[in-house]
Amino acid sequence: MKKSKIIYIILAIATLAIILYFAFRHTENDGHNHDGHSHDETETLAEESVSNIKEVELNEAQFKAANIELGTFSLKNLSEVINANGYTKLPPQNQADVSVHTTGIVKSILIEEGQYVKKGQTIITIESPEFTKLQEAYLTSKSNLEFLKLEFERQKTLNDEEVNSKKVFQKTKADYEIEKARFSSLQKQLNVFNINASGQTTSVVSVVAPISGYVTEIYIKIGSNVEIGKPLLSIVDNSKLHVDLLVYEKDLYKVKEGQQVRFILTNQDNAEVKGKIFSVGKAFENDTKSIAVHADIINKEQRLISGMYVNALIDIGTNAVSALPIDAIVKADGKEFIFILEENIDESTKKEKTFHFQRIEVKTGTNQLGYVQASLLQKVDKNAKIALKGAYYIQSHLIKNEGGGGHSH
């Protein structure tokens, strides 16, 4: 009986020891762990949250050196678009090859490549004996026509009075009609060569510009032989320049006349050019599954020429999103940020003007034509000024300050 009692006492002590052990561990956890995080983890999260809120201070010289440009969000249609590639193109009626209809020698060249010329302006002169022969033939025909007209009128009067024979009248009439047609033909030929029919006979004639535009190429020089139909020079009129885009079959049903087109000229400071679709092709281009879409260019301030390659976006939707230039976004620690200029701080105690920027985290979306959709992750003033350009400079200044152990303003 004594032995059993001892065993029970030992079991009771062991049970109490186990209870106290677990009770002690629970109390320890309560002191060091809340919501599944230890004190160390909580402090780390708090520090990470604070680390995202950083400020940078630039003096006026630094601000100017960075070429910082301030602005705000823009509404851009970045959500519903079709990407298309193509070229700038001129319609055939705005291009001209200048040639002549006879042989001769180039007497003078009055223009240079790249020069703007007006329609009807004399651009070169051609010398040829054919011009003299043509004028002589014209003057001879004119004289014959005057004689035959008088003879025709005389024979007509005699025929009406039945004095002469019908046969003589018919022959006079035929001769008159033939010479009248020949004279008309010679007159038109003189007009083609810009020769004044009533002027003095000359072997040198002027060649005029058929359209207004810029001289792109000159294929001749002084003394060059001129051949019939061979181009002497070329002129283009870029005022009717448009864009030809290739749209694939899968997107064709989405494209319609009147839709807006946007494209960027990378060699002109990434300027955005706008256009409007005026025609959609009705056949596939060159055995491909793509259709030519033609768009007028709306803003023509940029210097455009035919044959420029373009990467364009066709707006097929009406949803606009808040966007910023790509240069306004910086990346750090796997996140994306922008810099906002804080309200002016009292500078009365400082000798020079300073600019205070606060780094704000954002979430980005669609990226097109130099702009990216951006959403703020914290509330800021709707009129806040954002660094649209120069954000990388501000970020590098912040990193420099942190790396140097200084205080990052």
Task: Output the pLDDT for position 27.
Answer: 46
The rounded distance, in Å, linking the Cα atoms of 170 and 159 is: 10
Nearest to 99 by CA among 188, 207, 217, 202: 207
The architecture (CATH level 2) of 52-77+321-403 comes to Beta Barrel (2.40)
The band of 406, judged by pLDDT with boundaries at 50, 70 and 90, is: very low
The band of 405, judged by pLDDT with boundaries at 50, 70 and 90, is: very low
Q: Is 256 exposed, middle or buried (0-12, 13-18, 19+ CB in 10 A)?
A: exposed
Most confident region among 22-31, 78-87, 224-233 by mean pLDDT:
224-233
Model confidence over 114-157: pLDDT tens digits? 999 999 999 999 998 888 888 888 889 888 999 988 988 888 88
Q: What is the DSSP string of 192-219?
A: HTT--TTS---SEEEEE-SSSEEEEEE-
Model confidence over 75-91: pLDDT tens digits? 887 667 888 888 888 98
The architecture (CATH level 2) of 96-236 comes to Beta Barrel (2.40)
The mean-pLDDT minimum among 20-34, 182-196, 380-394 falls in 20-34
The rounded distance, in Å, linking the Cα atoms of 311 and 86 is: 7
The band of 2, judged by pLDDT with boundaries at 50, 70 and 90, is: low
Domain positions in the chain are 2-41, 52-77+321-403, 81-90+241-315, 96-236
Average pLDDT over all residues of the chain: 80
Find out whether 175 and 144 touch, Cβ atoms under 8 Å: no
Model confidence over 162-215: pLDDT tens digits? 767 788 888 888 988 999 999 899 888 888 888 887 777 788 888 999 999 999
Task: Output the pLDDT for position 345.
Answer: 53
Counting residues of the chain whose pLDDT is more than 70, the rounded percentage is 79
The rounded distance, in Å, linking the Cα atoms of 53 and 335 is: 12
Residue 302 DSSP class: S
Nearest to 90 by CA among 216, 179, 205: 216
Shared fold status for 52-77+321-403 and 81-90+241-315:
no
Torsion (CA) 386, 392, 395, 399 in degrees, nearest 10: 180
Bigger pLDDT: 382 vs 28: 382
How would you label 302-339 residue by residue, b for 16+ Cβ within 10 Å and e otherwise? eebebebebebbbbbeeeebebbbbebbbeeeeebbbb
Find out whether 219 and 233 touch, Cβ atoms under 8 Å: yes
Q: Place domain 81-90+241-315 in its CATH homologous superfamily.
A: Efflux pump adaptor protein, beta barrel domain (2.40.30.170)
Average pLDDT over residues 265-282: 79
